[in-house]
Structure formats: C-alpha cells, structure tokens
Structure 1
Amino acid sequence: MIDLYVYYKVREEDASALAPRVRAMQERLARAGIACQLKRRPEVRDGLQTWMEVYPATTDAFASSVEGAALEAGLAEFIQGPRRSEVFMDLPTCA
C-alpha cells in the first residue's frame, strides 16, 4: 500500500469554484472505498493557493485512477500549472 499526495496551484479567485468539484470527486472516490482528504497551505503567494489531495493506503494503480477522476470532474479548468503527485510508503516497523 502507498499514500498518494497530489498538489497543485489555484488562483485565489478560483478557489470557491474549484472546491465543490474536488469535494464531489472525492465523495465519488469515498463511495468506492477510498479515503480522501483535501488540504491547502495557509499562505497565499502571488495570488495562488497550494492545494493538496491526500489518499492514504491506496494501491499503486490508484494514481492513474485519480487523474482520470480529476479529468472527468473538470478540475483542470481551475488549476494553474500541472497536478503533481508524490508517493510515500510506510517504513517497516522495528521488531
């Protein structure tokens, strides 16, 4: 299992239009059993907010699925630049 972090920039004036789309997409994913979180950095730089979608304990194949869901939800219309993904995995526990 992996944790997937997807982050991107959003113009401050587009945040109120983007939020319901991301939440609706994540609600559909949650109904399919995917845990979802939506976060953003507290500061705004050059009129841009940084948002992050967090998907803990997913499979390796989920990254392409979430990009398909984002495309279907029309998120790109409100995102500045690319959606970037980072994958993390748990370290083994000590014995």
Structure 2
Amino acid sequence: MIDLYVYYKVREEDAARLAPRVHAMQARLAAAGSAAAAQLKRRPEARDGLQTWMEVYPAASEGFGEVLEAAAREAGLAEFIQGPRRSEVFTDFTPCA
C-alpha cells in the first residue's frame, strides 16, 4: 500500500467551481472501492491569486495513480487547474534493525 499526494494550483476565482468536481470524483472513487479515505486540502494562503490544493489518498493500491488520473480527466479537472497535477508517493517508514 502507498499514500498518494497530488497537488496543484487553482485560481481563487475557480475554487468554488472546482471543489464540487473534486469531491464528486472522490465520491465516485470511494463508491468503486478505490479511495475510501480521500481528502481534499488547501494551503491557507493564496499567492498571486493562486491557491495550492492537495488531494490525499492514504493506503492506496500500487496502481491507484493511473486510476486517479483517468478519473481526473473524466471529471474535467484540468479546466480549472493552473499548470500540472503533481503526484508524490510515500510508504510507511520501516526502521532499520
């Protein structure tokens, strides 16, 4: 299992239109059993009229990134995102013996 973090920039004036699309996409993924604990977050401040948003998908399967990107395309998220969606993968820390 992995934890997947996806972040991107959103114009402040587009936030109210994008949020429902992201929440609906996450609900569809949860209903399909792909992302039960999905979260949507943003930085508290904006810079140059842009907010930084982050989607968080803890305990996702190894192939979930491709499923998520297909869902994002289907949801039309790119229409309201400035620049790329960037993904970061994290795993649990296992200390050395």
TM-score bracket for this pair, using the shorter chain length: over 0.9
Deviations 1:53-81 (A, max 9, x none): 00000111000110000000000000000
RMSD: 1.2
Amino acid at match of 1:27: A
Where in structure 1 do 4 or more consecutive aligned residues deviate above 4 Å? none
Q: Work out the percentage of aligned pairs sharing the same amino acid.
A: 77
Q: How does 1:32-47 map to 2 (within 5 A)?
A: 32-33=32-33, 34=35, 35-47=37-49
Cα shift at 1:32 = 2.0
State the TM-score, normalizing by the size of structure 1.
Answer: 0.95
Match of 1:72 in 2: 74
Q: Show structure 1 runs of 5+ residues with no match.
A: none
Amino acid at match of 2:82: Q
Please point out which of 59, 62, 65 is paired with 2:61: 59
Q: Show structure 2 runs of 5+ residues with no match.
A: none
